[in-house]
Structure 1
Amino acid sequence: MQKQQFVLASIALSVASALAHADATTTGGSDSDTVSTLSKVTVTANKKEEDLDKVAPNINVVTRTQLDENAASDLSGIVKDVPGVSVEGQNSKFGAAEVTIRGLSGARSRVLTLVDDERLPDTYSGASDQALTNWRGGKDFVEPDTLKQVEVIKGPSSGLYGGGSLGGVVSYRTFQASDFVDDDKTFYGGFKQSYDGSNKGSGSTVTLATKQGELSGLLMVTSRRAEETDNRGDKGGSGTSRTQADPQLVKTQNVLAKVGIDHGDHALTLSLEDFRRSTYTNYLEGVTGSTKADNLDVGVKRSKMALDYRYRGDGNFDGVKLKLYHQQLRDRQNETKLTTTSATDLYTWDQDLWGLNGQTGWQLGGHHLTTGTELVAKNSERDMPKSTGSNAKYYPATKGYQFGVFVQDEFELGRFSLTPSLRYDLSRIRPENDAVYLANSGTVTSKDKFSASAWSPKLSIKTALSERLTGFVNLVTGFRAPTFEELYLGHDYSMYRMMLIPNVNLKAETSKGIELGSKYASASWNWDNTAFYNKYDNFIEQKSFVAGSTTYYQYQNIDRAHIYGFETSSKWAFAQDWLLSSSLAWAKGYNDTDHSALDSVDPLRVINSLAYQQDRWGSSLKWTVSAKKAAGDVSNSAYFRTPGYGVLDLSGWYKLNKQTTLRLAVNNLTNKKYWNWSDVKTLQSSAYPMDRFTQSGRYVTASFETSF
């Protein structure tokens, strides 16, 4: 009962600012009565630049200021406060993490991740969702200090972004030289030092930028070092009963370089980036029985090169955008076990990705047209050489490509603004004749190629309900072709009485959805609301069945699934220097075939914060509340269900001078013991000591940033 009252109290607080402001407006208050105003934010989620308060409420932005306030040093810090978004696997021994948007996870390529409009390489899970796996990978190889802002589009987005955006889009925007220098200030130098007490992590970033006439350049170099992320487990030692985090050392280096030339209406930018992270884990929980030692050394390298050309239009012509890029991912996971002998297994994952994007737009009478195209080619290979000289493969090497083309029209019809769009996507994957894969009971050859295509329409309707209140309706569709892993995963684990079976007959996932929303925007108060309902056909899930004494795993299409929910957020500058912010996200999801719950959907979460800010200093108190995971919201009653919790974070900043800022935060102020559902979903407390998966207790983050 106390926990229910706790959650209800937080929900009440999340709408208090709205009710209070409504009352103030009724009694004659106006924006001019409040000195504090809310800043403007520009987004490009709809393939053009727009003010955030003009777009539908399913689009959220994380600004550079918010990233600094959250001391973002990894993926979970980047999207920490976005309603309806969570991160899974952040603190795993693999250093791998994925974003989940409204119950759909990037781990199954249902969330599209972009960096400056470039697709990141694919993720993988290794073996089985339902069985323990020795290796996995994510998309957490983006350096937070290089980000200017992050745009999150929630809900099916294939009408503009194509395949892979069934659940939404996470679009990172990195800094440009023009963010630091111009014709008046031709040189910029910056240094940032940060500390994260949850993992004893330290980070250093050096930024240099220059502009000389038409030429400009940017260089950002980041180095990070951290240990294991602390939890609330109190049992050390080794073996499966250990609850403390396994000892870990994580080192990260990132270099981002950009050189640009800006000549009249033409701009050309060359971008280079090299991201490297090594994660060494002393896997003490795996030391049991005959296993005397178990160490995992993971190395991830992502490198990219991109050439970006832009022609600025004038009048009725928007101009032209062209981008050619190459992304290369190299993942090495080296596991060494000491039993009666020493054995080393090397798990490798390589992908090369080439992309070409183009976009243009123009005004034609009362219509604003935008059209674009995308071509992506991928070569992928995963290998597992063993120290014994043998080799194993879960998939054959594959080659594939994706092609997409879209058109969008924006026009006025009476008091309504209508924006229909239509995109065509074609996806093809061809496996190689891989002798090693076939020798490990894989059954796929080059004749088992896969092809899928789809037309994805979208209609957005916007209308002014009053001077400051705007209503939105989105009718959306989604498309996702099966991944190489879902199609071709196959391996003989008969010694463990387990088999992984390919399924080259999978169908592409599709979705249809509706979203109703509203936005109230004034100089001192914003209030966004959105309700959504999405239906998914041919939803792909991994299923298991038992024959004899062997358990078989295979990805299969289930007939249908649906997810629905509600989100609200508000910001109210209710007095000079004061800001009250609130957000709430609630969703439910079900498999319509067997009527079981979708375990990927997070429980209700509410975030309230009160901030005070002057020119030289500021402080904020944040209260994050999560409801418990109810029995009816899990597909298996044996799964551990996270209890509800409330966590307080206190932060502050101080400007020593115009160029230098200090930040300090005390997180989990009350040292609360809690679990995030995204980290423990589908785990059974009878099989694991659950304290191992608790979040960090009380810890401090700090940063020092200066420029010249």
Structure 2
Amino acid sequence: MQKQQFVLAGIALSVASALAHADASSTGSNDSDAVSALSKVTVTANKKEEALAKVAPNINVVTRSQLDENAASDLAGIVKDVPGVSVEGQNSKFGAAEVTIRGLSGARSRVLTLVDDERLPDTYSGASDQALTNWRGGKDFVEPDTLKQVEVIKGPSSGLYGGGSLGGVVSYRTFQASDFVDDDKTFYGGFKQSYDGANKGTGSTVTLATKQGELSGLLMLTSRRAEETDNMGDKGGSGTSRTQADPQLVKTQNVLAKVGIDHGDHALTLSLEDFRRSTYTNYLEGVTGSTKADDLDVGVKRSKVALDYRYRGDGNFDGVKLKVYHQQLRDRQNETKLTTTRATDLYTWDQDLWGLNGQTGWQLGGHHLTTGTELVVKNSERDMPKSTGTDAKYYPATKGYQFGVFVQDEFELGRFSLTPSLRYDLSRITPENDAVYLANSGTVTSKDKFSASAWSPKLSIKTALSERLTGFVNLVTGFRAPTFEELYLGHDYSVYRMMLIPNVKLKAETSQGIELGSKYASDSWNWDNTAFYNKYDNFIEQKSFVAGSTTYYQYQNIAQAHIYGFETSAKWAFAQDWLLSSSLAWAKGYNDTDHTALDSVDPLRVINSLAYQQDRWGSTLKWTVSAKKAAGDVSNSAYFRTPGYGVLDLSGWYKLNKQTTLRLAVNNLTNKKYWNWSDVKTLQSSAYPMDRFTQSGRYVTASIETRF
């Protein structure tokens, strides 16, 4: 069955690719609104506003309509259909998850996440790389209903975005008041109610916007409530053999408020956001032996205030963008165990982040220049006060900053459009003389400062190969300084025969890569292709070794690693109101030191969809096919290798009237049992009942939205 699925998926993709060269006139006026709408999508991935059709194919956009179609209520729903992108830790005990782009994960700060050009705070990613992905923190603390669109840049992006973008960038764009109101329509109100059958989740969002002269305002309020995400496990009870999802209650509230003044060429916007989520888990799988009960209560709060100033230039001057912002992350993990030795442990993670961004651009002869700067200051601390009265810490409190400055030039050379850029980054981290950390076998003091800098060049070349076909070449570099965890993580776990050892000698990761791509566009066709090869130096991985009866863990630089792959996507409006879409992502990655596979790389995935839409209603049938994880694609033969699968989803929408839209979807139509590789990588079936990590069976999502 799996082979048949791949044959059919391959045929669909091959037919789409071959027909892309057909004359667009064959479909005449039967072009689809969905295809023509792509030409209207604008992105700012290259630090300037431009049409999506004009940028390289490694830049993908998730529009608001796609978010609605996927009933996005979390990070997994946001990037569900982006080729080469996956999410790990989807059923996290912390209620959070991380994005992986082309085999590089945000769990180790290799993917940069931005909200309106503001860096999100760092999260605690786990004491060990061997830890279960559902026991790690992540950056899933952005409310999907507040998003206008999401831009995903795949591949090293340090030439413009600096440190932390080794694997790519996920850039969220939230709504502005101007998306709802203008001088003619001065008030907007909206209400959305949603339901997710996978976790019995409900969500409500209220949107209010107004414009009075030069003053505008936006207020969005969201509240969600959900239970555990169902899986295909059928064994309940307690203990390590349990395969059903542990009982869970998740509550989320988000407030987004913006006030703007638009006076002539000047615009000033004040933004406030407050995201709160509480996740209670009855950890039944942990109830074994002397542990009679195990509960985990996690509270996450992200708050921010930002002031954005823009001066709109004219003629040869682009204007000025300035932003100053402050974000605060508070994470409280309260674990209560009923045992003979301890009752309650509280784990805290705090980070305060201050940021300053500036950018300007101008036309100078045949050159369009853009320059910008960024400063980020972070104070971070993780504490573990125990019920016994003794505190513990894995690493000391730290202070650090990142500074970057870039310049980009765009000019024409014959039939070629060239865009070189260069960015300089400086990163510094200073640990404090932390008495609690030192009292718990810590060895790092304030003298163990870390500093790294890098020059990151980039060259983009674009040329018209024909009237409808454009070729792209990107020569890219990346830079990532070690995180405070990788540098300073150290703790004596001798009672568990385990030791965590800090490594203050770590070097920054760097990368060099090349990307070749093409874009074909007509009235009825869009077809994007890209092939990439990225080489990484000083790649950081956690290594372990055994001495006596104790296992030691330490982050170390390995010599080199590389990842290469291919991605393609096509959309074909083959008849009036009909749209056929297909995408494929394939990649391989290897550690060049020990010649083993990089476990973070996902297996091949194909997504095919058939959509029909009119002005009043529409429907989409989607078929997602994933290859199995082959034996040669894992670093350890003992790891569980996910089998291939094919999953069908059916969704539809209907306009009840001009103001109200109803959406309904049935996901996993055939009730297929399957695993996502990103959730189980590095797990051994001999150690865990793998049905515990299966995805949800058949379930329904629905929403109703009213606008006035």
TM class by smaller structure:
over 0.9
Q: Can you list the C-alpha shifts for 1:214-271, whole angstroms capped at 9, x where unaligned?
A: 0000000000000000000000000000000000000000000000000000000000
The one-character-per-residue Cα deviations of 1:423-442 (angstroms, maximum 9, x if unpaired) are 00000000000011011111
CA shift for structure 1 position 17: 6.0
Provide the alpha-carbon RMSD of the alignment.
1.8
Bigger shift: residues 501-510 or 13-22: 13-22
Number of the residue aligned with 1:133: 133
Alignment gaps of 5+ in structure 2:
none
3-state SS of paired residue (1:66):
helix
The Cα of 1:90 is off from its aligned counterpart by 1.4
Q: Residues 629-673 of structure 1, C-alpha deviation per residue, up to 9 Å, x if partnerless?
A: 000000000000000000000010000111110000000000000
Determine the C-alpha separation between the residues in 1 that align with 2:133 and 2:696.
25
Q: Secondary structure at the match of 1:93?
A: coil
Q: Distance in 2 between matches of 1:445 and 1:134?
A: 32
For 2:135, what is the secondary structure of its paired residue? Answer: coil
**Which has the higher mean CA deviation after the structures are superposed, 22-31 or 111-120?**
22-31
Within the alignment, does 1:320 sit opposite 2:302 as a pair? no
Cα distance, 1:198 vs structure 2: 0.2
Contact 2:196/2:202 (CA < 8 Å) preserved in 1?
Answer: yes
Residues 164 and 479 in structure 1, CA contact (< 8 A), matched pair in contact too: yes
Q: Is contact 2:513–2:534 with CA below 8 Å preserved after alignment?
A: yes
Match of residue 161 from structure 1: 161
**Superimposed CA distance per residue, residues 537-556 of structure 1 (whole angstroms, 9 cap, x where no aligned partner):** 00000000011111100000
Shift of 1:40: 1.9
CA contact (8 A) 1:517 1:529 kept: yes
Aligned partner of 2:583 in structure 1 is 583
Q: Answer whether contact 1:7 1:625 (CA < 8 A) is retained.
A: no
Secondary structure of the corresponding residue to residue 517 of structure 1: strand
- Residue deviations 1:91-112, cap 9 Å, x none? 1111120000000000000000
Whole-Å separation in 1 of the counterparts to 2:133 and 2:671: 32
> Alpha carbons of 1:266 and 1:29: their partners in 2 closer, same or farther (altered >3 Å)?
closer
1:522 positional shift: 1.5
Residues 655/39 of structure 1: CA separation in 2 closer, same or farther (3 Å cut): farther
| Alignment check: 8 A CA contact 2:529 2:568 kept | yes
Preserved CA contact (<8 Å) 2:30 2:576: no
> Would you say the 8 A contact 2:30–2:577 is kept in 1?
no
User: In the TM superposition, what is the alpha-carbon distance from 1:201 to its structure 2 partner?
Assistant: 0.2
Question: Which structure 1 segments of 5+ residues have no match?
Answer: none
| Residue pair 1:442, 1:490 contacting (<8 A) in 2 also | yes
Q: 1:20 to 1:559 in 2, by over 3 A?
A: closer
In the TM superposition, residue 27 of structure 1 has moved relative to its aligned partner by 11
Give the stretch that moved more between structures: 271-280 or 8-17.
8-17
Q: Quickly say closer, same or farther: Cα 1:134–1:493, change in 2 above 3 A.
A: farther
SS in 1 for 2:13: helix
Distance 1:34 1:374, change over 3 A: closer
Inter-partner Cα distance in structure 1 for 2:614 and 2:4: 37
| Number of matched pairs | 708
Instruction: Tell me by how many angstroms 1:136 deviates.
Output: 3.0
How far the C-alpha of 1:479 sits from its partner, in A, is 0.2
- CA distances 1:603-635 after superposition (whole Å, capped 9, x unpaired): 000000000000000001000000000000000
Deviation at 1:575, TM superposition (A): 1.1
Change (3 A) 1:11 1:139: farther
Question: In structure 1, what is the Cα distance between the partners aligned to 2:692 and 2:182?
Answer: 51
Alignment partners' CA distance in 1, 2:393 and 2:133? 14
**Cα distance change of structure 1 residues 38 and 576 upon mapping to structure 2, 3 Å threshold:** farther
Alpha-carbon distance in 1 for matches of 2:125, 2:49: 36
Counterpart Cα distance in 1 of 2:271 and 2:459: 35
- Other-structure match for 2:682: 682
Contact 1:306 1:326 in 2 (8 A): yes
**Is the Cα–Cα contact under 8 Å of residues 32 and 576 in structure 2 kept in the other structure?**
no
Shift of 1:524: 1.6
Displacement after TM superposition at 1:37 (Å): 6.7
User: Does the aligned pair in 2 maintain the 1:14–1:583 contact within 8 Å?
Assistant: no
Report the Cα offset of residue 15 of structure 1.
4.3
Partner Cα separation in structure 2 for residue 133 and residue 189 of structure 1: 40
Distance 1:698 1:5, change over 3 A: closer
Measure the CA separation in 1 of the matches of 2:671 and 2:499.
Answer: 44
- CA distance in structure 2 between the aligned counterparts of 1:294 and 1:8, rounded to whole angstroms: 47
After superposition, the Cα gap between the structure-2 partners of 1:573 and 1:17, relative to the gap in structure 1 and judged at 3 Å, is: farther
For 2:563 and 2:67, the matched residues in 1 are separated by: 29
* CA separation of 1:14 and 1:680: change in aligned 2, threshold 3 A: farther
What SS does the corresponding residue of 1:239 show, helix, strand or coil?
coil
Structure-2 separation of matches of 1:239 and 1:132 = 16
| 1:361/1:371 contact within 8 Å kept | yes
In 2 relative to 1, CA 420–125 (structure 1 residues): closer, same or farther, beyond 3 Å?
Answer: same
Is 1:316–1:364's contact at 8 Å kept on the other side of the alignment? yes
Task: Note the alpha carbon deviations across 1:569-599, whole angstroms, 9 max, x for none.
Answer: 0111111111111100000000000000000
Name the SS for the 2:529 alignment partner.
strand
- The separation in 1 between residues aligned to 2:558 and 2:288, in whole angstroms, is 39
1:119 corresponding residue in structure 2 = 119
Shift of 1:22: 2.5
- Structure 2 Cα separation of the partners of residues 8 and 318 of structure 1: 49
Q: What TM-score does the superposition give when structure 1 sets the normalisation length?
A: 0.98
| 1:85-142 CA-partner distances (Å, limit 9, x unpaired) | 0000011111120000000000000000000000000122231112569953110000
Q: CA deviation at 1:339?
A: 1.4
For the 8 Å contact 2:16–2:570, the answer to whether it is kept is: no
- For residues 552 and 134 of structure 2, the distance between their equivalents in structure 1, rounded to whole angstroms, comes to 18
Shift of 1:502: 0.3
Cα distance change on mapping 1:301 and 1:671 into 2, 3 Å: same
CA deviations 1:251-296 (Å, max 9, x no partner) are 0000000000000000000000000000000000000111110000
Residues 656, 477 of structure 1: alpha-carbon distance in 2 compared, 3 angstrom cutoff: same
Cα gap change, 1:304 to 1:31, in 2 (>3 Å): closer
Q: Is the aligned partner of 1:254 residue 2:254?
A: yes
> Counterpart of 2:445 in 1: which secondary structure?
coil
Q: What is the CA distance between 1:13 and its match in structure 2? A: 4.0
After TM superposition, give the deviation of residue 340 of structure 1 in Å: 2.7
Q: Is 1:536 the equivalent of 2:508? A: no
Deviates more, 1:334-343 or 1:362-371: 334-343
1:525 to 1:135, Cα distance in 2 relative to 1, 3 A? closer
Go from structure 1 to structure 2 and tell me whether the alpha carbon gap of 1:673 and 1:164 turns closer, same or farther (over 3 Å shift).
same
Q: What is the CA distance between 1:39 and its match in structure 2?
A: 5.1
Residues 465 and 6 of structure 1: CA distance in aligned 2, closer, same or farther (over 3 Å): closer
Query: How far has the Cα of 1:505 moved from its partner?
Result: 0.3
Q: CA deviation at 1:64?
A: 0.1
Given that residues 7 and 627 in structure 1 are in contact (C-alpha distance below 8 angstroms), is that contact kept between their aligned partners in structure 2? Answer: no
- Which whole-Å CA distance do the structure 2 matches of 1:518 and 1:132 have between them? 39
Identify which range, 118-127 or 603-612, moves more after superposition: 118-127
Range that drifts further, 447-456 or 572-581 = 572-581
Give the stretch that moved more between structures: 200-209 or 33-42: 33-42
Alignment check: 8 A CA contact 2:31 2:573 kept: no
In structure 1, C-alpha distance between the alignment counterparts of 2:258 and 2:35, rounded to whole Å: 40
Higher mean C-alpha deviation, range 246-255 or range 30-39: 30-39
Distance 2:34 2:71 in 1: 30
Instruction: Assess, with a 3 A threshold, how the Cα gap between structure 1 residues 8 and 639 changes in structure 2: closer, same or farther.
Output: farther
Q: Distance in 2 between matches of 1:495 and 1:32?
A: 64
**Contact 1:7–1:626 (Cα < 8 Å) also in 2:** no
Contact 1:109 1:123 in 2 (8 A): no
Q: What is the alpha-carbon distance in structure 1 between the residues aligned to residue 30 and residue 620 of structure 2? A: 25
SS in 1 for 2:343: strand
Counterpart CA distance in 2 for 1:324 and 1:35 is: 38
| SS of 2:96 mapped into structure 1 | coil
Contact 1:14 1:582 in 2 (8 A): no
Check conservation: 1:31, 1:522, Cα contact below 8 A: no
Structure 1 residues 15 and 32 mapped into 2: Cα distance closer, same or farther (>3 Å)?
closer
Matched residue SS, 2:530: strand
Q: Check conservation: 1:396, 1:431, Cα contact below 8 A.
A: yes
CA contact (8 A) 2:645 2:674 kept: yes
Contact 2:30 2:574 (C-alpha < 8 Å) held by counterparts: no
Counterparts of 1:692 and 1:325, CA distance in 2? 41
Q: Look up the match of 1:335.
A: 335
